[in-house]
Structure 1
């Protein structure tokens, strides 16, 4: 087998080395000289004498060869020379010695040592094959120090490969301290999707206790006290395991949080004026979640008192007076109100704002706000545009709890339903499916152009990760049905195909029996448009694609293209369109009994009101979990609006399920 990333035949050893190689000592595994006992199997590395240089080993190898013609001893010494070159940060010289050893044939007793050194010499090099190096490590006999080095190399290679489960399994076999092992395993294990944990546990039994710990934290996400009790039982079960005395830092911090036992919550919403219906829909969701808790606890006195404060037409000082000493706030809803109120809040207030500000420095220290009262920078929110058009979604905020111990955490988080977030999720999904040349069709309005811009920007970042310079996006912008049809046919190259057919007919005076052909490089179509425009767009796309190409080009949209009030005609025109939307609006969600109660209480809710209701419901349900979600970033909450988790800036990351229109019905997709 050729060397991986071979450095070439030449290298600049000392004069002694050159003589050695020319004299037939060539390239062969090494044995240690007189002061060091040769042990071909297993070979312990990094145990050579102090002040011994690689050149000393090369000279010893030459002498052994001239005196005894013992190839095994000579090669062992050459391998020790290569080992010393690696320790001296001279990988090119080590690679040349290893190459010469390989060319002369590797004896069985030195094969394990040789495989280990080759892996050390080439691991991390850009042209090295990770798979080949891992295969070489399989030949290394893992005993003593060699076992630790093998585990370290496997950890490095599996990490390069992105196989974090295997890397976590390998790091447990290194000689790192218990604290370092737990920290690294936990860091990797919490990046693995929840639905893969069972598979990982079967493949790597040593990770089973860590998986159990993660499941335990997820089960007790709403109660730090309950988590602390369960951890005591966990440590009893796993006595003698590294996790008995060394738990991950963030898990320990989570147990020190206090349960979110707020007895007074102020909810800031516009309950009068032009946005009264919007505020009322959010309020309905909050109240529904509140009474759901009443039923669970069977005791209304255990729940906090909710105070709704109308933000319409009042100034910041009036809101501060209304809030008083309340430590928990939900809202405000409008971006301007969020930006004016937050800097003026006193120390110790926990805010679940229902909009994202333009941009705020973090942490903010204003009017006595402590560093604990952190405010995260956030992307631009579309809430105000949405409310004015009353056909769009909101942005909300979630609380980022500081990891202080006994006191209630000061926090500021943002729970977003912004359309830009949907554009990013769509870009990630389409990219993960392997599509690389989409057409993006966007209506010529501020809302959809923002989504278009976000998609293109995120698409470029995804391509950058693959070191691709071209993003291969074809953009189409329209403002009416005519420009829509013209833009699609031009983007698909159908218009040019028709022109070519007409030109041939003109030149030959014969009718050309041919179909106009669409571009074959296009692999997906993305639509950012209103439900009405999307209903027009989909049939135009189907008519423009050449049916004889035998190629299906999927059409993708966001929730902004879906209106559940239009009846079955809409679904007919949207046949085969893929889209993302809230679980609450999907036909087979997990809250059927709640849906029946909502339909009885608030009849004839339109699509927008249903989304606002889900938004309010999730906002209330997140309250008791915010501290844990901020502390254990891998935790998530399955809400009506999607799977919700927190990023490092305290913003909610929302993943919505995918669906497709088939036979005039919405069908959920599993991926």
Structure 2
């Protein structure tokens, strides 16, 4: 293809003809009943007339060149043709015109226009580099429509890169309405980790008011009334800012909530029968949180009345009768009771259920939870968070009552820990783990959840195959055999033996483990994990110079076994409740608990923390449901709510070093 307008040559139609030929053989232009109405060009120095086609501009460019040999005027017309092609959803033809213009060299007056059009033509294409296009946009100057289009493209490209802060900053420079700007920026600002907000504010000063607003809502999360007063001061400080008259919708909703005022709370727990011990420990946690409130408020008249209702072997009608007109409920604890009771509750009730049903939309991980066991440890496994049962219509009806009404589900589901562990390991960059799971229903469920979520994470990177090596065991022998085979140590030994047999000489070599494995994940009891870790260390070749980390969940930790356990679990990473960590923020509370309930075992400590957090969460549900980015730092972890009303629990990471539990900051 010849280049357009070379010096000393007559401009015929090198660019024009090539574009027109492509028009003819690529796709036949559709006949339009109405002429295309073209918006004003993004460059202030040129204007595209109404009711013209790209071909008109190409022919006009030809005539200008033949008559005047004015390169700048000709190129301006060609760029306008490319602009029209883009507006007519014909990017290939636009790209061809832009290529021809580039080959002849871009004059200074057209540099910005050209860069803007090239970015528009290639933004969003799979092979286009967002980084290169953003660099090209840096050279675009201009005001008005040009600046708006530049900001819109920058927003698109920064979003593709996942740079939400830069995207939010660019949105503010677009020609969207104030409400649209605020809602979009607020969505991104509340998606950024709190730890990054200071650096975001320094890099993008225009976002500082939004960051201040987020911090303000977090500081006043306990009281809609206090939040409303703080917002009035905020508006005075930022008078004239877009946020003065266009606050985010969910912030406005939060100020309109009624303070919880939970003066009567019904707690539904199994307090007799085979699960009485489990129910009693949860009750102890609730009572401890209640008395912590007593110390804070210093006014018993402001405290709610707690009523504990035994759910053991009673029907739904009996529970409804016991609940009466109570508007705040904690529980039930058992899954089948939750499934029976929640749909029968009247409107206007605030519920924090301590389990979730089997069948929930978009939540297959809840299936197969075991409940009703006489073993307290198994009963603990049944505690699972879940999704609200009420549909959108019901939620709207509840909202219309003017109460902080919510249906939420909170628990200690083992599947949730498996999912968190998968995300943590994946975000660390590991891609080829060995997953070792004991052959029991609990650990197999965790194994299934981990693998399912691992596939989802791989799919997000467009990887068709999740590279997982699975090991399942039911005793120490199958555990050892499974690990050695998974690490390829057994095959390595066989190769050494074959060489010795063939040469009749002893081969001085070490069995070598697989080099592709980058992490090992264990779903096993504390006792099995103590056996597993030394086997792994013995199976890994020390001469490889590669350390393969071992990861586990709280289900592999027992804090009652003494120091020997920590010795056998050396270097194992795991997640667990802050309440079980050696250094946490509730030391005075821990001392009181140890005096009141001596010799609590590990499972009882977890159930206690569960009850404590449930009580503290109840009055915050209205605000947490409205402002999803808010969280509560609880004994069981960092607690927040998702769109379905599930309490999402993020636990901290720790590692065993020198026979001690050591918290990790990441």
- Fold conserved (TM > 0.5)? yes
* Cα distance, 1:321 vs structure 2: 1.6
| TM-aligned CA distance change 1:46 to 1:442, over 3 Å | farther
CA distance in 2, matches of 1:253, 1:355: 28
In the alignment, structure 2 segments of 5+ residues that lack a partner are 4-10, 21-39
Runs of 4+ in 1 over 6 A off after TM superposition: 22-27, 397-403
Q: Is the Cα contact below 8 Å between 2:285 and 2:612 reproduced in 1?
A: yes
The verdict on how the C-alpha distance between 1:183 and 1:398 changes in structure 2, with shifts beyond 3 A counting, is same
Name the counterpart of 1:495: 490
Contact 2:438 2:523 in 1 (8 A): yes
Aligned to 2:165: 165
Contact 1:360-1:378 within 8 A present in 2 as well: no
Determine which of 379, 392, 396 is the counterpart of 2:366.
379
1:542 aligns with 2:537: yes
Which among 500, 503, 517 is matched to residue 505 of structure 1?
500
Per-residue CA deviations over 1:332-358 (Å, capped at 9, x if unaligned) read 111111111122222222211111111
Contact conserved, 2:43 with 2:145, CA < 8 A, in 1? no
SS at match of 1:512: coil
**Structure 2 residue 204 is matched with structure 1 residue 217:** no
The alignment partner of 2:366 has SS state of coil
The alignment status of 1:21 with 2:8, answered yes or no, reads: no
Query: Does the Cα contact within 8 Å between 1:257 and 1:404 map onto a contact in 2?
Result: no
The 5-angstrom pairing of residues 171-210 of structure 1 reads 171-210=171-210
Residues 279-307 of structure 1, C-alpha deviation per residue, up to 9 Å, x if partnerless?
11100110111111111111111011000
Matched ranges for 1:127-276 at <5 A: 127-276=127-276
Correspondence 1:466-615 to 2 at 5 A? 466-615=461-610
Quick check: 1:96 aligned with 2:91? no
Q: What SS does the aligned partner of 2:375 have?
A: helix
The TM-score normalised by the length of structure 1 is: 0.91
Structure 1 residue 637 corresponds to structure 2 residue 626: no
Structure 1, 511-520 or 384-393: larger mean CA deviation: 384-393
> Any idea what SS the aligned residue of 1:390 has?
helix
For the Cα contact (< 8 Å) 1:381–1:395, is it kept in 2? no
How far apart are residue 405 of structure 1 and its match? 6.2
- Match of 1:268, SS state, is strand
Q: 1:248 to 1:383 in 2, by over 3 A?
A: farther
Contact 1:329 1:349 survives alignment (8 Å): yes
Name 2:412's counterpart in structure 1: 417
Deviation for aligned residue 1:408:
1.6
1:331 maps to 331
Q: Distance in 2 between matches of 1:132 and 1:385?
A: 60
Q: Which residue in 1 is equivalent to 2:23?
A: none
> What is the number of equivalent residue pairs in this alignment?
632
Quick check: 1:338–1:355 contact (8 Å CA) kept in 2?
yes
**Per-residue deviation, 1:386:** 7.2
Alpha-carbon distance between aligned partners in 2 of 1:483 and 1:417, rounded to the nearest angstrom: 30
2: distance between equivalents of 1:23 and 1:80? 13
Q: Which residue does the alignment assign to 2:423?
A: 428
Task: Report if the CA contact (8 A) 2:577-2:636 is conserved.
Answer: yes
Pairing 1:264-413 to 2, within 5 Å after superposition: 264-359=264-359, 379-380=366-367, 382=369, 384=371, 388=375, 390=377, 392-393=380-381, 394-395=383-384, 404=399, 407-413=402-408
> What is residue 441 of structure 1 aligned with on the other side?
436
CA positional deviation for 1:624: 1.1
Q: In structure 2, what is the Cα distance between the partners aligned to 1:22 and 1:327?
A: 74
Q: Distance in 2 between matches of 1:527 and 1:385?
A: 27
Following superposition, the deviation at residue 359 of structure 1 comes to: 2.1
In structure 1, what is the Cα distance between the partners aligned to 2:120 and 2:402?
Answer: 50
1:397 shift after superposition: 6.6
* 1:381 and 1:418 in contact (8 A); partners too: no
